[in-house]
Amino acid sequence: MGKLRHVVEQTFALLHQFKRLAVRWERRTERHDAFVSLACSLICFRRLKKARS
């Protein structure tokens, strides 16, 4: 359980780098979900870009 928890906590820490997600002030859940998806995509892109170089 400890290894899985570390992955989840690390993911939340990465998502909280995006201020709009750290402080949720969107009223519509669709917009919040869209920003979460965008943030996840950016995180994955940055990791892949870092792994290539």
Tell me the pLDDT tens digit for each residue of 2-53.
Answer: 778 888 888 888 888 888 777 777 788 888 889 899 999 999 999 999 998 7
Question: Total structural domains in the chain?
Answer: 1
pTM of the model as a whole: 0.72
Query: 1 falls in which pLDDT band (50, 70, 90)?
Result: low
Domain of 24, in residue numbers: 2-52
Non-local (6+) Cβ contacts of 20 within 8 A are 26, 35
One-letter amino acid for residue 51 of the chain: A
Residue 18, CB-side half-sphere exposure with 13 Å CA sphere: 18
Cα–Cα distance measured from residue 5 to residue 46, given in angstroms and rounded to the nearest whole number: 22
Residue 16, Cβ neighbours under 10 Å: how many?
Answer: 12
